[in-house]
Amino acid sequence: MNRIFLAFRIFFGTLFGSAPAQQVALLLEGPTEEAKPPQPVPEKVKPSAPSPAAKKPLRSEALTLLAALQREARLVDLIQEPLSDYSDEQIGAAARDVLRDCHKVLDRLFALQPATEANEGSNLETPASFDAAEYKVSGNVSGEPPYHGQLVHPGWKATKCDMPQWQGSADAALMVAPIEIEIT
Amino acid sequence: MSAEFVVGIDLGTTNSVVSYCRLDAETPEASLLDIPQLVAADAVETRPSLPSVWYLTREHEAAAFASALPWNSEPGFVIGEFARQQAAEHPERTIAAAKSWLAHASVDRRAKILPWQAPDEVAKISPVEATRRYLQHLVAAWNDAFSESPLDQQMVVLTVPASFDASARELTREAALEAGLPANLVLLEEPQAAVYAWLADEGDNWRRHVNVGDRVLVCDVGGGTTDLSMIGVADHDGDLSLQRIAVGRHLLVGGDNMDLALAHFVAAKFGEQGVQLNPWDSVSLWHSCRTAKESLLAEDGKDSHKISILGRGRSVIGGTKSIEVERTEVAALLTDGFFPLCEATDRPLRQRQSGFQQMGLPYETDTAVTKHVAAFVHDHQPADQPDQAPTLVLFNGGVFRSEALRNRMLAAFTNWFPTPLVDLRSDLTERNASLDQAVACGAAFYGWSKHRGAIRIRGGTARSYYIGVETAGLAIPGAPRPLKALCVVPFGMEEGTQTDIPSQEIGVVLGEPATFRFFSSSVRKEDQPGQMLSQWTDDELSETDSMEAELPAGADLEDPFVPVRFQSKVTELGVLELWCVSTNSDGRWKLEFSVRESTE
């Protein structure tokens, strides 16, 4: 009953008064040019571009990588399996396929390359200054770099980093592999 | 034109690739566009190729998928890697090989028929629309990466199979324009694009590899189709020039057939050991076979190879089934099954016509690619030089990444031709990966060289075209009037030319659509415009979509008929146009393809 009364009031109010008409227009259509209040409109925050530091991402990229290795290569299944139950041959048969597919994933996402083109066993000199994450020196290390020695491991380096962009919801932020159900 | 880039699009039957280079580059270095796509229900990756597969999402998935891509995509479907995976488990909700449907003249390609034979609850779309959607995804990926240089302002070259006839090309163009490609879009035949890719790789050295009089056989065997062309090397004002001499039929046989054949073979071996495979195993097996194929075919590979199907449940080791496969068995199956050594006179088995055949895609009955090549070479011997054989071969397509298959093809040629064919890609082992990207890169190089006025393959139309004309004369009850075919477009009609067809006047009724039966031939190369054929075999002329024009009824004309002759035109962009030209007024009316089933 109240609503019918209100509707009549609005109807006659808008028909005969200009101020109520403006208010109703505002209600129905949002602010129009004439109806806009004189005070300055506050700056709108762009909804599409939140600042990156503002929010912690819902999901760690590490889980997204793990999910890709599971999805395409079944790596998590292999690692979670109790190895003592199986013979080397059984493990080998499954591992061959899993490792092959893991390689494909890593190659596609990171295109791993040896960090130096020098061969293992050849002589190599470090730069005069270097990061400990770039060169690891061992043995008879003394004095200031550059160090001179034998290459033991050429290292690995990603030549790109094309991580999948995770698109799931907050509820699924910790999922590595979905629950699979077959409808019969 | 303010185009900054030339963009080559290979809209493949199974995968699409986009390549681009700057128009002002001194030497063109083609790059590949990274294409964002769903790769799992919850992950988007950018990859250099987009599987040409469309998946109709279910309602519970739609909301999550619609917002996944960097651009606003229409909800309800997904294209790319995730769609490809879904195809194995939900074939009734996926469309693959839409491109082959475009060339399938016995269905209405603007009708909502795909997914083929899907249940009623699945909303279907037409082959043209599926093609548009694939292209829209590529357009969006480009515009997302190059927001300053939108694709509709670039120079775009889109490749089509050489075997596409005029109506399939027109439908491709229609889908491309609707998808937002520029109106000055150029269509390029895929085998020609493969040649351009080779030219781009060789740079100025290409002239050293070919001589005047050489004929290059282009063998392009992709995932779903085999496309053949012959390119001649001629002397043009003292410089070498290339000319496309012949194109093959649309052959639906390719690498996917080989993967499937191997999977069936291995499944049977499992069966012998009492291991029954369920449908899910078969999907996994197909994947294993695809990856095992290359090492199994390698000539210096191991004598036996283990093929495993990982367990479906969590127990990946315990659930794994594996089997030893002998390399010789696989070589016999794939090399001899698909590339048998055969005589030059061997021909593929004919399609068996059964009244109860389902009207799906016309897959080849005979998977022997070598025999299809033998038939192609024979059909296109020049009439005046029947002994002239190809001298060079250019391999293209993913199947020929296998050295063993390239060698087998070369071995077959030694039985056919007096001199062994020279493999233009003999240095391929270094760059195997590029064979499935060559068409896109070649298309970009073509655009660049067209812009620069550099080397260009001359070709013109790949077929000759005919309009069916009923002969006048006394009607015989019960018998159709004899049909004659009037040649309106000769083979090799060049871009940017037009011809008035000399013929008798043909009366066209005003005010109602005039429909003409329309035929094409890839083998009748000598017919001249105006020539009237009264007899032909089914091999020579094939009927394609009819053409129609509606001539408006003019009030001032007393006669309900208007006498016309035909005029044909190939535009600079390679679009074939046919016009009816009135012989007693200024009227001209364009004929359009009526791409509809004739039964309607």
Contact B316 A74 (CB under 8 A): yes
Mutate to test the interface with B, among A63, A74, A84 (most CBs of B within 10 A): A74
* Interface contact flag, B318 A90, Cβ < 8 Å: yes
Alpha-carbon distance B112 to nearest alpha carbon in chain A (angstroms): 29
Nearest to B71 by CA among B6, B5, B146: B146
Name the pLDDT band for A45 (thresholds 50, 70, 90). Answer: very low
pLDDT score of A24: 54
In 3D space, the residue among A53, A82, A93, A27 whose CA is nearest the CA of residue B314 turns out to be A82
Tell me the longest C-alpha to C-alpha distance in chain A.
98
State both tokens at B552. Answer: 């408006």
- Cβ separation of B316 and A78 shorter than 8 Å? yes
Distance CA B242, CA B233 (A): 5
The Cα–Cα gap between B491 and B514 comes to 25
Say which residues have a Cβ less than 8 Å from residue B209's Cβ, sequence separation at least 6.
B202, B392, B422, B424
Instruction: Give residue B11's pLDDT.
Output: 93
* Beta carbons of A78 and B47 less than 8 Å apart: no
Chain A touched by B72 (CB under 8 Å):
no
A100-109 per-position pLDDT tens digit: 999 999 999 9
- Cβ-Cβ contacts under 8 Å, A98 against chain B: 310, 316
Sheet holding B422-423, edge to edge: B422-423, B392-396, B215-221, B226-236, B239-247, B457-458
Q: In sequence order, what E strands does B522-571 have?
A: 532-533, 542-550, 561-570
- Interchain pair A93, B320: CB under 8 A: yes
Could you give the 3-state DSSP secondary structure of residue B542? Answer: strand
Which ipTM value was assigned to this complex?
Answer: 0.77
Interface contacts (A, B; CB < 8 Å): 81
Q: B39 to chain A nearest CA, in Å?
A: 8
A98/B contact by beta carbon, under 8 A: yes
How far apart are alpha carbons B221 and B227 in whole angstroms? 6
CB-based contact (8 Å) between A80 and chain B?
yes
3-state secondary structure B39-97: EECCEEEEECCEECCEEECCHHHHHHHHCCCCCCCCCCEEECHHHHHHHHHCHHHEECC
**Would you state the pLDDT for residue B542?**
85
Instruction: Using a CB–CB cutoff of 8 Å, tell me whether A73 touches chain B.
Output: no
Give the C-alpha separation, A80 to B356, whole Å. Answer: 52
**Would you call A63 an interface residue with chain B, using a CB distance cutoff of 8 Å?**
no
The residue of chain B nearest to residue A172, with distances taken between CA atoms, is B42
B320:A94 CB<8 A = yes
Rounded to 5 degrees, what are φ and ψ at B393? -135, 140
Query: Which residue from B34, B43, B315 is facing A165, i.e. has the nearest CB?
Result: B43
Give CA–CA dist A135/B225, Å, rounded.
51
Cβ(B58)–Cβ(B122) under 8 Å?
no
In this predicted structure, what is the pLDDT of residue A23? 60
Q: If DSSP states are collapsed to H, E and C, what string results for B192-227?
A: HHHHHHHHHHHHHHHHHHCCCCCEEEEEEECCCCEE
- Chain A residues 108-127 with CB within 8 Å of chain B: 108
pLDDT band at A20; cut points 50, 70, 90: low
Contact B43 A164 (CB under 8 A): yes
Is-cis flag, bond preceding B115, omega within 30?
A: yes
Any B CB within 8 A of A100 CB: yes
pTM: 0.82
Determine the Cα–Cα distance for residues B598 and B600; give it in Å rounded to an integer: 5
Q: Give A130's DSSP letter.
A: -
Res B383: pLDDT: 59
Q: What is the 3-state secondary structure (H, E, C) of A39-106?
A: CCCCCCCCCCCCCCCCCCCCCCHHHHHHHHHHHHHCHHHHHHCCHHHCCHHHHHHHHHHHHHHHHHHH
Q: Do B43 and A162 touch (CB under 8 A)?
A: no
Measured between alpha carbons, how far is B165 from B543 in angstroms, rounded to an integer? 10
Work out whether strand B392-396 and strand B215-221 pair parallel, antiparallel, or are unpaired.
parallel
Can you give the pLDDT at residue B2?
77
Q: Choose from A167, A175, A176 for mutation: most chain B CBs within 10 A.
A: A167
Smallest Cβ–Cβ distance between B310 and the set A74, A166, A169 belongs to A74
Helix, strand, coil shares, percent, chain B, to 5: 30, 30, 40
B41 contacts A97? CB cut-off 8 A: no
Q: Is A178 on the interface with B (CB under 8 A)?
A: yes
Distance CA(B403)–CA(B435), nearest Å, equals: 12
DSSP letter at B336 equals: I
Q: Average pLDDT, stretch A4-16?
A: 57
pLDDT at A37 over 90: no
Q: Do A165 and B288 touch (CB under 8 A)?
A: no
**Closest Cβ–Cβ partner in A95, A97, A162 for B288:** A97
pLDDT tens for chain B, 600 residues long, are 578 999 999 999 889 999 999 998 888 888 999 999 999 988 999 999 999 999 998 888 777 787 788 888 788 899 999 999 888 778 888 998 888 888 887 788 888 888 887 888 888 999 999 999 999 999 999 999 999 999 999 999 999 998 888 889 999 999 999 999 999 999 999 999 999 999 888 887 888 888 888 899 999 998 888 999 999 888 877 777 888 888 888 888 888 889 888 988 998 999 888 888 877 787 788 888 887 887 788 777 778 888 888 888 888 888 888 888 888 888 888 998 899 999 888 888 876 544 444 456 777 878 899 999 999 998 887 656 656 789 999 999 888 888 889 999 999 998 888 888 889 888 765 554 577 889 999 999 999 988 887 777 877 788 899 988 876 666 666 666 678 899 999 988 888 889 999 988 887 777 777 888 889 888 888 899 999 888 888 888 888 888 888 777 665 556 677 888 899 998 877 788 899 888 888 888 888 887 654 433
B63 touches chain A (CB under 8 A): no
Q: Does A39 touch chain B (CB under 8 A)?
A: no
B574: left (phi over 0), alpha (psi -120 to 50) or beta: left
Predicted confidence (pLDDT) per residue in A75-100, tens digit: 999 999 999 989 998 899 899 899 99
> CB–CB of B43 and A81 under 8 A?
no
User: Is A33 in the B-facing interface, judged by CB distances under 8 Å?
Assistant: no
